[in-house]
């Protein structure tokens, strides 16, 4: 049974600058190398879902420019249905500049561009893609009103919704009421619940806050430590796989996309899907770049045999 996943989200051309360490305020550093690749949280999550075996569709916007066509082609090459990507005549394609240091840590500067123009009307035009999905995924690199429209539409058709509240932002409480599964990292979780994530007790407290806001299922990703899940069927903390990280860009996005390819809509296999997703993101962090680093189903399965 192949999961059908529709991603409503961002499309960015990523430019990565390799540096020895992060610059101090007012300091100028030389970059050791520069590379460009397709990225954006939405694109990364869609490619991760598609490469892990999901039937994937994308709703978003790019500029009517070379970078926009590059993004559409990049998704098409990954067997993602791009018919619901609109070319915006006024805004340029989104972009991100990534500073990556020798420890594999990154700082990212994002220009939203056409991503900020993804509208509720775009979602309505993609109603067929949403109605026929098992999961609809959204993040916060596109307007929240658009996410709300997508999730409302999903609920009307009995489709499960996954929210990745990244980058961390003040959230429209109406979105949480139509969110089935929320996947923040520990920083985003603290921003949304005012609970500092330190241990299992604090994670359960955060889950209680989300439940009060209307979200019954939670996964908190905690970087190289692992991930915590809490559903109506139980909770657990699953340690991450130990690997040497060279670039953490797209690790969280890989996790979400890979998870959506395996998760059952009733969430009954959430632990197994979470372990699969962790395996996928552990491969991503061992490679350079965002979209180019995301593994295929065959690679994830091969890593699982080791």
pLDDT digits (tens, 9 = 90+) for 81-109: 999 999 999 999 999 898 999 888 888 89
pLDDT at residue number 184 = 96
Query: What pTM was estimated for this model as a whole?
Result: 0.93
Q: Could you tell me the pLDDT band of residue 153, with boundaries at 50, 70 and 90?
A: very high
Q: Residue 191, annotated ligand binder? A: no
Known catalytic residue at 199: no
> Is 277 annotated to bind ligand?
no
42 in a known ligand binding site: yes
pLDDT grade for 285, boundaries at 50, 70 and 90: very high
Q: Which one of 88, 172, 253, 266 is the catalytic residue?
A: 253
Using the predicted structure, report yes or no on whether residue 1 has a pLDDT greater than 90: no
pLDDT of residue 11: 97
pLDDT at residue 60, rounded to an integer: 98
Is 236 annotated as ligand-binding? Answer: no
**Is residue 14 part of an annotated ligand binding site?**
yes
Query: Domains of the chain by range and CATH?
Result: 8-24+31-305 (3.40.1190.20)
Upper half-sphere CA count for residue 213 (Cβ side, 13 Å): 21
The answer to whether 223 is a known ligand-binding residue is yes
- What is the 3-class SS of the chain, one letter each residue? CCCEEEEECCCEEEEEEECCCCCCCCCCCCCCEEEEEEECHHHHHHHHHHHCCCEEEEEEEEECCHHHHHHHHHHHHCCCEEEEEEEECCCCCEEEEEEECCCCCEEEEEECHHHHHCCHHHHHHCHHHHHCCCEEEECCCCCHHHHHHHHHHHHHCCCEEEECCCCCCCCCHHHHHCCCEECCEHHHHHHHHCCCCCCHHHHHHHHHHHHHHCCCEEEEEECCCEEEEEECCEEEEEECCCCCCCCCCCHHHHHHHHHHHHCCCCCCCHHHHHHHHHHHHHHHCCCCCCHHHCCCHHHHHHHHHC
pLDDT of residue 300: 96
Q: What is the pLDDT of residues 162-210, one digit of tens each?
A: 999 998 888 999 999 999 999 999 999 999 999 999 999 999 999 999 9
- Predicted local distance difference test score (pLDDT) of residue 105: 84
Mean pLDDT of 119-124: 98
Residue 26 annotated as part of some ligand binding site: no
């Amino acid at each position: 049974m192949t999961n059908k996943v529709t991603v409503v989200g961002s499309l960015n051309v990523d430019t990565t600058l390799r540096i020895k360490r992060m610059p101090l305020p007012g300091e100028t550093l030389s970059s050791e190398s520069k590379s460009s690749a397709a990225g954006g949280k939405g694109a990364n999550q869609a490619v991760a879902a598609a490469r892990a075996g999901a039937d994937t569709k994308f709703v978003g916007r790019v500029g009517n420019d070379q970078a926009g066509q590059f993004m559409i082609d990049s998704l098409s090459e990954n067997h993602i249905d791009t018919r619901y990507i609109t070319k915006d005549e006024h805004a340029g394609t989104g972009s991100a500049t990534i500073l990556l240091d020798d420890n594999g840590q990154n700082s990212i500067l994002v220009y939203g561009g056409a991503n900020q123009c993804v509208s509720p009307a775009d979602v309505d035009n993609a109603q067929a893609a949403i109605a026929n999905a098992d999961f609809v995924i959204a993040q916060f690199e596109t307007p929240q009103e658009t996410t709300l429209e997508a999730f409302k539409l999903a609920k009307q058709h009995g489709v499960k919704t996954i929210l990745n509240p990244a980058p961390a932002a003040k959230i429209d409480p109406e979105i949480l009421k139509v969110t089935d599964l929320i996947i923040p990292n520990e920083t985003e979780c603290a921003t949304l619940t005012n609970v500092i994530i330190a241990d299992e007790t604090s994670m359960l407290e955060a889950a209680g806050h989300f439940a009060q806001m209307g979200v019954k299922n939670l996964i908190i990703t905690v970087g190289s430590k692992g991930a915590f899940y809490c559903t109506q069927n139980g909770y657990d903390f699953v340690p991450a796989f130990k690997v040497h990280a060279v670039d953490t860009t797209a690790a969280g996005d890989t996790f979400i996309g890979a998870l959506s390819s395996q998760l059952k809509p009733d969430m009954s296999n959430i632990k197994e899907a979470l372990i699969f997703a962790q395996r996928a993101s552990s491969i991503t962090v061992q490679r350079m770049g965002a979209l180019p680093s995301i593994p295929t189903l065959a690679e994830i399965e091969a890593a699982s045999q080791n």
